[in-house]
Structure 1
Amino acid sequence: MKIVVIGGSGLIGSKLVNTLRERGHDALAASPSTGVNSITREGLAQAMDGADVVVDVANAPSWEDQAVLDFFETSSRNLLAAEKAAGVRHHVALSIVGTERLPDNGYFRAKVAQEHIIKASGIPYTLLRATQFHEFVGGIVQSFTVGEVVHASPALIQPIASDDVVAALADVVLAAPVNGTVEVAGPEALPIDELAKRFMRATGDNRKVVPDVNARYFGSVLDDQSLTAGKSARLGAIRFEDWLARSTTR
């Protein structure tokens, strides 16, 4: 089966391409660095030729509100038009758990817009919503930093290792379209301030962490449901503590 991975040079995309190839499939890593650009449409028709499935794990180059919205809307429309012309049978996109619950977050609003475009395309699809990656915890901690103090929300978060996201994605790609949304999350939910303390302790960061219910997560105030998955979510196997231990000893 030919599978085109848009964003195939990134963290998730590169791992997914390797996983699919190991399973015996023809996986194409499609990104601007390989001559495939979903914004300019360069190389898009050629990449789609003979493709059975397209997986969109591309990320916007800018997180500015309008720029990220423009990226996901333009990229998605171009991809879906090329897929329709090529007769692609399944469109898979990686999204984020809680996108519709945080309307103050420009990135989340852009992902909601992307999801709407996919649903309206007429192409069979599956949306895989994942919680925040273990690999992004450092950036989350930094976003809560004010001076030398980390004012972190005590709301729950359910972080997941990128390897577990890739495993779930691969299974979705090789299954029939569900024409709906599937969730994948980490094996445990914990308060963000506690997550920050664990990360900082492991990385030798001695700054103080202060729980702050009003702390904004990239523009949004959180509650315990904002960043956690539903009861039917697939759960990853890699706990944050285990990932952290491996990451800090490399």
Structure 2
Amino acid sequence: MEIAVAGGTGIAGTEVVKIAQQRGHRVRVLTRGNGVDVRSGAGLEEALSGADAVIDVLSTSTQSARAATEFFTETSSHLLAAGHRSGVGHHLALSIVGVDRAPHGYYAGKLAQEQTVRSGQVPWTIQRATQFHDFAAQTYRNAAVGPLHLALRMRTQPIAIVEVATRLVDLAEAGPSERARDIAGPQEEQLVDMMRSWAAHTGRSGWMPALSLPGAFGRAIRDGSILPGADADLGTVTFADWLNAQPRG
């Protein structure tokens, strides 16, 4: 297969590219370095010519609902329009478990992305997944006030990136299936504990007080709204497994 990957240099995209290539697929990574700007649409139609499937694992660092919605609506619209003109037969987007139950901030953008994909002219698949294991490290870096790092109160069921990337390539090979079954890690975790364990493992010392985000989104991430349902497919790699494989500080 010819597979185009949007966001192919990111955390998830790198694994998608690796797995697809290992299986013998020809992979096109859609980046500015390769003459493609997904945000503006420049170079997309040429880059997608002859592609069988597009896997969209793009992300953005904003937590603003408006900015996230603009980003994901624009990029998805350009990918779908160029894909339709180029004869792409399958558009596959990675989303997040619970976006419809917590449509706030970044999640609002992902929900808008899903709606854009559903209304496009390319046959589609949407795969929702829970947070990756390294979400603890990302939150540690982002939830900082001067030298103080805050541990965010959140219920999550984190999953290994490679397990999500494997599922995405499986789905690309299988063809359009619309809403795929949600995928999540093997067990629920508290993000506060994950962050503190990661900090200790990597040699980062100091007091890390727990923080509850205010508002509707804060409630949603604490009350289980973004946890997978009973019908979700579960991975096998626990957070402890992942952490033990990381370099010690």
Alignment RMSD (CA, Å): 2.3
Contact 1:8 1:30 in 2 (8 A): yes
Quote the residue 2:36 is aligned against.
Answer: 36
Normalised to the residue count of structure 1, the TM-score between the two structures is 0.89
Aligned partner letter, 1:226: S
53 and 187 in structure 1: CA distance in 2 versus 1, 3 angstrom threshold? same
Q: Distance in 1 between matches of 2:216 and 2:223?
A: 16
Distance 2:5 2:81 in 1: 16
Show CA shifts across 1:133-178 (max 9, x none).
112211223455566363531x421111211111111111111211
Partner of 1:215: 213
What's 2:3 paired with? 3
CA distance in 1, matches of 2:62, 2:152: 24
Q: What's 2:170 paired with? A: 171
State percent identity of aligned pairs: 34
- Deviation at residue 97 of structure 1 after TM alignment: 1.1
**Bigger shift: 124-133 or 57-66?**
57-66
How many aligned positions are there? 247
1:20 equivalenced with 2:24 (yes/no): no
More divergent stretch after superposition (170-179 vs 57-66):
57-66
CA 198–78 in structure 1, closer or farther in 2 if over 3 Å, else same: same
> Which range moves more in the overlay, 144-153 or 132-141?
144-153
Task: Kindly indicate whether the alpha-carbon contact (under 8 Å) linking 2:30 and 2:38 is maintained by their aligned counterparts in 1.
Answer: no
Q: Does residue 1:243 correspond to 2:246, yes or no?
A: no
| Contact map agreement 1:150 1:207 (CA 8 A) in 2 | no
SS in 1 for 2:138: helix
Shift of 1:207: 2.9
SS of 1:228's equivalent in the other structure is coil
Q: Provide the rounded CA distance (Å) in 2 between the counterparts of 1:56 and 1:151.
A: 30
Q: Which runs of 5+ in 2 are unaligned?
A: none
Amino acid at match of 1:164: E
Q: Residue 174 of structure 2 aligns to a residue in which SS?
A: coil
Match of 1:53 in 2: 53
Contact 2:101/2:225 (<8 A) preserved: yes
> In 2, Cα distance between the equivalents of 1:217 and 1:35?
41
Does the 8 A contact of 2:151 with 2:196 survive in 1? no
Distance in 1, Cα, partners of 2:61 & 2:150: 26
> Is the partner of 1:171 in helix, strand or coil?
helix
Q: Which amino acid aligns with 1:72?
A: F
Question: In the alignment, what sits opposite 1:180?
Answer: 179
Measured after TM superposition, the shift of residue 73 of structure 1 is 0.8
Aligned to 1:228: 227
State the Cα distance separating 1:44 from its structure 2 match.
Answer: 0.6
Written as runs of structure 1 = structure 2, the 5 A alignment for 1:57-206 is 57-60=57-60, 62-104=62-104, 106-145=105-144, 148=148, 150-153=150-153, 155-206=154-205
The alpha-carbon distance between structure 1 residues 217 and 242, as it changes in their structure 2 partners (threshold 3 A), is: farther
Return the letter of the residue paired with 2:231.
S
Return closer, same or farther for 1:102/1:193 CA change in 2, 3 Å cut-off: same
- Give distance in 2, aligned partners of 1:98 and 1:133: 14
Task: Tell me the distance in 1 between the aligned counterparts of 2:218 and 2:157.
Answer: 17
Shift of 1:63: 4.2
* Deviation readout 1:30-88 (Å, 9 max, x if unpaired): 12222111122222111111111111111226444332221111111111111111221
Mapped contact 1:92–1:125 kept (Cα < 8 A): yes
Are 2:140 and 2:149, in contact at CA under 8 Å, matched by a contact in 1? no
SS at match of 2:55: strand
Q: Tell me if the contact between 1:143 and 1:217 (Cα under 8 Å) persists in the aligned partners.
A: no
Show structure 1 runs of 4+ deviating over 6 A.
none
The change in CA–CA distance for 1:34 and 1:6 in structure 2 (over 3 A counts) is same
